[in-house]
C-alpha cells in the first residue's frame, strides 16, 4: 500500500451548510416531539400498559446495535491486520460513537421524565442487565475515543492495536448485553431465547456495515475523492455475508421455537396470523432486508454498480428497522402465558388478547431525530478533523495485502 494521507471533508460550504441545516431541522423536530410527549404524557403515543416499548425504542435499539457494527471496519484493519481496511478505521470509530450517542439520546428523551436518568446513573441493581448496559455504553464511547486518538496521533500508533483489540471485545460485550435484555425476559415467549445474544451480534455487523458503506460512498463521491471498486467490492461482499448470517440465525431462532410445543402459538402469530407483524416480517425483514440486498450484492452486474450497492445498503437498513420492530413490538403485543397449561378464570385485563399498537407521529419523529443527530455529528466530525483518507483508489490500495 502507498502511504495514506487524511484530510478534512472539503465539500463546498453552501452544500455543506445545506446538509447540516437539513439534519438540524430533523433534530429540532425530534426534540419538539420529545417535549410534546413529556408535557402531554405518553397517552399521546401508541404505547400502553401492554406495549411499554414503542417505536422510539425500535430506533434506539437499531442505532445502538449499528454503532457496535460500524466499528467492525476498524477492527478488521487493526485487530486482524488487514491493511486495505486501515485507512477506513478513523471514520469507523467516529460513526460508531455518533450512532451510539443518537440511540442513547432517543432512549433518554423517551423516559417520560428525563430526570429519572439521575436515578439510573446513581443507583445500580447489578442483577439487572440494564444496569450493566450503562457501563457498557459509556465504556464503549470512552474506549473508542481513546482508540481514535491512538490511531490519529502518529506517535501513538504502536498502541492502537491493543486499544483496537479492547474495543473489539468491548463491543461484542455491548451487543451481547443488548441482546440479553430480550434473552433474559422469560415472561415474553418471543424473547426468552439464548440465541438472542448471537443474533444481535450478527445484526450489528450487518446494520453497522450498511450504514458505514453508505456514509463512505456519500462522502467520497460528494467530495470528488477517488474511490476504487476494490475496497467497495470487499465491503459489499462482506456485507452480503453478514446479511446471510442474520437470515441464518433468524431461521435457527424460529426452528428452535417451533421444536418446542409451548412456542407454537407465538410462532404462528409471528409467521402466519400476526397481521401487520407477519407482513413486516416477511416483506420488510425477509424480502427487503434479506433476499433483495443479497440478490443485488452478488449479482454479476448490479453488484459492481455503486448506485445499486447503495440501494442494497438502504434495503439492509430498512430491513434492520423492520426486524427490530418485529422483535420488540411483535414480542410485546402477543399475550403473556401467566399460567401455562392451566385453566384460569379470565380477569378482564386483556388475558389472552393480542394488544393493539399503532405508532404515533411524535414517536416516529423522535426516532428520526436520533438518526439525524448521529449523521449530523458525523458530518461535523469529518468537516472539522481528518477522518477521511484523501484517496481510496485501486492504485493506492494493494488488493493482495489482505489476501
Q: Closest by alpha carbon to 198, among 181, 167, 175, 168?
A: 175
Q: What is the pLDDT of residue 401?
A: 45
**Buried/exposed code over 54-72 (b: 16+ C-beta within 10 A; e: otherwise):** bbbbbbbbbbbbbbbbbbb
Q: Closest by alpha carbon to 141, among 171, 162, 109, 119?
A: 171
Instruction: Give me the CATH topology for the region 6-239+356-389.
Output: Formate dehydrogenase/DMSO reductase fold (1.20.1630)
Determine the Cα–Cα distance for residues 162 and 401; give it in Å rounded to an integer: 21
Phi, psi of 79 (to 5 degrees): -80, -45
Q: Closest by alpha carbon to 171, among 285, 60, 79, 55?
A: 79
pLDDT tens digits, 65-74: 999 999 999 9
| Alpha helices, DSSP H, located in 223-304 | 229-259, 264-268, 276-279, 292-297
Q: Which three cell numbers stand for residue 65?
A: 446495535
In Å, how far are 69, 74, 102, 303, 400 from 108, measured between CA atoms? 22, 28, 10, 40, 46
Given a contact cutoff of 8 angstroms between Cβ atoms, the answer to whether 250 and 199 are in contact is: yes
In Å, how far are 224, 323, 389 from 9, measured between CA atoms? 10, 34, 9
**Sequence-ordered list of residues with C-beta below 8 angstroms from that of 14, at least 6 positions apart, any chain:** none
Q: What is the pLDDT of residue 155?
A: 87
Given a contact cutoff of 8 angstroms between Cβ atoms, the answer to whether 368 and 103 are in contact is: no
Low-confidence ranges of the chain (pLDDT < 70): 1-2, 112-114, 338-351, 398-403
Amino acid at each position: 500500500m502507498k502511504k495514506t494521507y487524511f484530510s478534512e471533508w472539503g465539500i463546498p460550504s453552501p452544500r455543506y451548510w445545506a446538509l447540516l441545516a437539513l439534519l438540524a431541522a430533523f433534530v429540532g423536530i425530534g426534540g419538539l416531539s420529545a417535549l410534546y410527549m413529556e408535557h402531554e404524557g405518553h397517552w399521546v403515543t401508541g404505547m400502553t400498559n401492554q406495549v411499554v416499548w414503542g417505536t422510539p425504542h425500535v430506533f434506539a435499539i437499531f442505532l445502538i446495535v449499528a454503532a457496535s457494527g460500524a466499528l467492525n471496519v476498524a477492527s478488521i484493519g487493526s485487530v486482524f491486520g488487514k491493511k486495505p481496511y486501515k485507512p477506513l478505521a478513523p471514520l469507523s470509530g467516529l460513526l460508531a460513537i455518533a450512532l451510539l450517542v443518537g440511540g442513547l439520546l432517543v432512549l433518554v428523551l423517551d423516559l417520560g421524565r428525563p430526570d429519572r436518568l439521575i436515578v439510573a446513573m446513581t443507583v445500580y441493581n447489578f442483577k439487572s442487565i440494564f444496569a450493566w448496559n450503562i457501563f457498557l455504553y459509556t465504556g464503549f464511547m470512552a474506549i473508542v475515543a481513546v482508540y481514535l486518538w491512538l490511531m490519529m496521533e502518529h506517535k501513538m500508533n504502536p498502541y492502537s492495536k491493543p486499544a483496537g483489540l479492547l474495543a473489539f471485545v468491548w463491543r461484542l460485550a455491548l451487543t451481547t448485553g443488548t441482546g440479553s435484555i430480550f434473552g433474559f425476559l422469560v415472561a415474553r415467549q418471543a424473547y426468552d431465547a439464548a440465541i438472542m445474544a448471537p443474533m444481535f451480534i450478527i445484526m450489528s455487523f450487518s446494520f453497522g456495515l450498511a450504514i458505514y458503506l453508505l456514509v463512505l460512498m456519500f462522502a467520497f463521491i460528494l467530495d470528488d475523492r477517488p474511490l476504487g471498486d476494490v475496497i467497495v467490492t470487499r465491503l459489499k461482499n462482506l456485507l452480503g455475508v453478514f446479511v446471510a448470517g442474520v437470515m441464518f440465525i433468524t431461521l435457527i431462532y424460529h426452528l428452535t421455537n417451533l421444536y418446542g410445543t409451548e412456542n407454537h402459538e407465538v410462532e404462528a402469530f409471528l409467521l402466519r396470523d400476526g397481521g401487520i407483524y407477519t407482513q413486516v416480517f416477511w416483506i420488510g425483514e425477509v424480502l427487503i432486508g434479506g433476499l433483495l440486498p443479497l440478490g443485488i450484492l452478488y449479482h454479476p452486474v448490479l453488484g459492481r454498480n455503486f448506485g445499486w450497492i447503495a440501494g442494497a445498503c438502504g434495503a439492509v437498513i430498512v430491513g434492520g428497522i423492520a426486524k427490530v420492530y418485529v422483535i420488540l413490538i411483535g414480542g410485546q403485543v402477543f399475550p403473556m402465558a401467566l399460567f401455562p397449561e392451566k385453566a384460569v378464570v379470565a380477569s378482564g385485563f386483556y388475558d389472552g388478547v393480542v394488544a393493539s399498537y399503532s405508532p404515533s407521529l411524535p414517536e416516529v419523529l423522535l426516532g428520526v431525530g436520533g438518526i439525524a443527530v448521529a449523521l449530523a455529528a458525523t458530518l461535523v466530525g469529518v468537516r472539522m478533523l481528518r477522518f477521511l483518507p484523501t484517496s481510496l483508489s485501486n492504485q493506492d490500495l494493494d488488493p493482495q495485502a489482505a489476501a
